Amino acid sequence: MQSFEAVYARMLFAAGVRTQTELAKILDMKQASISEGKKRGSIPAEWCMRLYDACGVNFDWQRFGIGPVYDAAKLKEIEGFRRGEWYEPPQEDVPLQLHEPDTPFYPFAVHDETPVHSVVQMPDGSFPEVLKQVFPSEFLPAGAKVFRLLNADMSPVLNKGAMVAVLQGASAVDGDVVAVFEGRQLCFRRAHRAEDGWTVEAAQEQGARFIPDEEWPIYYYGKAVWAFQPL
């Protein structure tokens, strides 16, 4: 395994976070554990496995920078578990057994379904499709792309699991909820116009982030126009 700083930087990049606290939350551990690892100058293999399980980040890429960043099959599995898809069809060499039919996940015609995308951007710039869902046509302005949140970005305004429609590149005005990049992940923030830039914030206790005008096109993805979410 490479140096702590090299592996740690790749973990932050792939997870789409910037701080020890944010990474610790994803790894389901205390922030102090990461601080102790930094002092020792080593990252336990368990951390890499936790990030693989949580975000589908390839084990070898974390440790050595080798291979693709994400494991596509693992990403699909993660999103399936989040949707409650626990049933696995029997393998071909196992005798078929009777079971209760699966409840249809989508009760509407396929042609009425809209793709819902992950907020984690792939290396090629795309956002993987994680499911399809039916929305009323009046809620789908032309060009809108729907994303499913991995975290409670702006709780209680936007909670974990929320599906948010975004108009990519639409002009933002003061007070809009916008999608901005943090690493390779889209996060949703309230935007306020400031002198020579924008201030974006999730919640008061998390503080605000200032993005100067010259960097706004780099970090800004689009404007949120509606959200469906669990209460």
* Number of structural domains the chain divides into: 2
C-alpha distances in angstroms, 101 versus 77, 97, 145, 160?
21, 12, 32, 29
pTM (2 d.p.): 0.52
Closest by CA to 120, choosing from 155, 77, 165, 151, is 151
Domain presence at residue 104: no
Q: What share of the chain is helix, strand, coil (3-state, %, to 5)?
A: 30, 25, 40
Q: Is the peptide bond before 128 cis (omega within 30 degrees of 0)?
A: no
Domain presence at residue 184: yes
Q: What is the CATH number of the domain that holds 221?
A: 2.10.109.10
Domain presence at residue 151: yes
Max CA pair span of the chain: 68
Domain presence at residue 101: no
Strand order in the sheet with 144-148: 129-134, 113-118, 144-148, 163-168, 220-228, 177-182, 185-194, 197-201, 208-212
Q: What is the CATH number of the domain that holds 62?
A: 1.10.260.40
Query: Where is the domain boundary, 24, 43, 71?
Result: 71
63 is in which domain, residue-wise? 4-71
Domain presence at residue 166: yes
Residues in the chain where the model's pLDDT stays below 50: 87, 96, 98-111
